[in-house]
Amino acid sequence: MGTRARERLLSTAEELFYAEGIRAVGIDRILEESGVGKASLYRHFPSKDALVEAVLRERDRTWRQWLSSTVDGYRLDPEDRILAVFDALFERFSRKDFRGCAFINTMVETADPASPVHAVAAEHKSALTEYLAGLLTDAGHTDADGLAAQLVLIVDGAIVTAVRENAPDAALRGKSIAAALLRVRMT
């Protein structure tokens, strides 16, 4: 029961935090919607911040797995896999439940770079940068780390623009910018 209660807490909290924001959702609401008792919550998570951290770590794991498997599923050559990241983002931006990047949202909401929650969100962005650097290295690019950091800037801009415009085509515009950047870097 303990593991199932933990899973329900994480699942419920993730859904509510992503849809409504971390600060807007209280512990009582998570308990009510998950059907888990308060004693069980605090047995698994000593504080709301600990729950938020666990939610973000799980979301990081599943999101990066989704991105990698989606890009791999396109079965493209290494150079095209870099830009396929934006095709995957287009798919994600097209979903009705898309509310931006949980990690960007968390950084904005916490606004404290020293907080553990902010650190988990920053770790996600670092892991995304490493993933993109790996794709760039596989495609034969030099300075993969610097170029990956520039691509993450484009990814983050596409995410925020997709939320602002409530339209998925920001991913395609991001892809166009990334393609131009890659062309310039190859010359």
* Kind and range of the H or E run holding 124: helix 116-138
In this prediction, the residues of the chain whose per-residue pLDDT falls under 70 are 1-2, 187
**Residue 63 tokens, joined:** 């999101």
Q: pLDDT by residue (tens digit) across 17-66? A: 999 999 999 999 999 999 999 999 999 999 999 999 999 999 999 999 99
Residue 24: the pLDDT is 96
Exposure class string for 68-88: b at 16+ Cβ within 10 A, else e: eebbeeeeeeebebbbbbbbb
Residue 124: the pLDDT is 98
Residue 187: the pLDDT is 53
Q: What is the pTM of this model?
A: 0.93
Residue 71: the pLDDT is 98
Residue 125: the pLDDT is 98
- Determine the 3-state secondary structure of 97 from DSSP: coil
Place of tokens 């990956």: 148
Residue 102: the pLDDT is 97
